[in-house]
Amino acid sequence: MPEQEKPYRVYRGGRAKGRVPLQRHAPAKRQQEAGAAGSPERGPKERHWGRRITLALAALLLLAGVWLATSYLSFARGIRDANARVPRSVAAELSHRGGLLTATPATILVLGTDGGTQVGRAGANRSDSIMLIRTDPRTHRLAYLSIPRDLRVEIPGYGSAKINSAFQRGGPALTLRTVKALTGLEIDHVAFVDFDRFRELIDAVGGIDVNVSRPIRSNRFDCPYATSQRCASWQGWRFEKGRQHMSGQRALVYARIRENLLDRSETDFDRARRQQQVIQATADRVTSLGTAVKLPFVGGTIVKPLATDLSAGQVLQLGWAYFRADSAGALHCRLGGEPGTADGQSVIFGSEDNVATVAMFTGRSAPLAPPRGLPYAPGCVVGDRPL
């Protein structure tokens, strides 16, 4: 037999019997076992944890749904009560233009009233603050227009008088007609705020943050002490310059200060600017995530001081428009004129520039600040600058 055809291999230690294996294959069964060892089946413990995670996620989704439903129902009940507090004569004066507030500009009359329930205010029932707020979702800008209480205007059916006397003579409906006649604007919605209960709203949302532009020591009003002897030695409310966190009581006092004993140059316009700050800071807090979490518990309290024609859905739309707006770039405007006397009262005679200020407020012209040296002049500023 030739040497290359020998059916055995030769090793140094001898030869191995049997046929020469030409190619080695792993048994199919062994390959299957090896493959199975590479990807072991999930054991019962792992399947158990997977079910737990799935159930936990389902429970969280269920709780979130219950929380959302509870929040909306609590808020909606309060809004229905607030709707019932709006007189029909007021609703008849509104524009009813329709459209979603998330896409359509809207003008809202905010009227702050002093119900006279506090000590020293018995029998009072007057408009303490008159303001227009305009939302424009297309430009994401908020605009505020303050109307001085002492501005002398034509009150329909009564002649010339201070604008705040419209509320005393004909309630919110006459005030609404007077504002429409003064500005030439259509009013889409109203919100009447009872200042005596406004502190409850601010406390319910955890207080507000306000940037005080200058130190303030007020005249003595709404003394916080129980005895007349302690109030006699009390020097008035004090506010330091800078950003401050305020409770409902301090925020209401800050908005009501009519005289700053540390700066005699202040006018009622400075008071109107402080009111704008408080309203904007309150809106910031109401639309915050922290308030949203507490909404099932504070939803009714938030709207107790309000009377409004806005439905619950419209309030949520307005809140979304406000949330998306650039509050730091908000437009702050005021009407004004020249101080004088009429009918034995100190009044402000309206300026012709008020028409231009309304155009700035609605975005039809660029904002211009009031001229320096004219403390009662109308105008607009952007952001948190002094007006």
- Per residue in 136-181, pLDDT (tens digit) is 988 888 999 999 999 999 999 999 999 999 998 999 999 999 999 9
Q: What is the CATH number of the domain that holds 82?
A: 3.40.630.190
Cβ contact 267:376 at 8 Å: yes
Rounded mean pLDDT of 296-304?
75
Average model confidence (pLDDT) across the chain: 83
221 falls within a domain: no
Rounded mean pLDDT of 332-360?
94
228 falls within a domain: no
CA-based nearest residue to 168, from 195, 196, 149: 149
38 falls within a domain: no
Range of the structural domain that residue 331 is part of:
67-215+246-382
132 falls within a domain: yes
Count how many domains the chain has. Answer: 1
Rounded mean pLDDT of 355-366?
96
Give yes or no for residue 52 having a pLDDT over 80.
no
Q: What is the pTM of this model?
A: 0.77
Q: Which of 33-47, 118-132, 368-382 is modeled with the greatest confidence?
A: 368-382
43 falls within a domain: no
Give yes or no for residue 275 having a pLDDT over 80.
yes
Tell me the C-alpha distance between 133 and 189, whole Å: 10
Q: Which of 50-54, 225-229, 244-248 is modeled with the greatest confidence?
A: 244-248
Q: Is 311 helix (H, G, I), strand (E, B) or coil?
A: coil
CA-based nearest residue to 239, from 267, 206, 200, 278: 278
44 falls within a domain: no
201 falls within a domain: yes
34 falls within a domain: no
- Residue 254 has φ and ψ, to the nearest 5°, of -55, -40
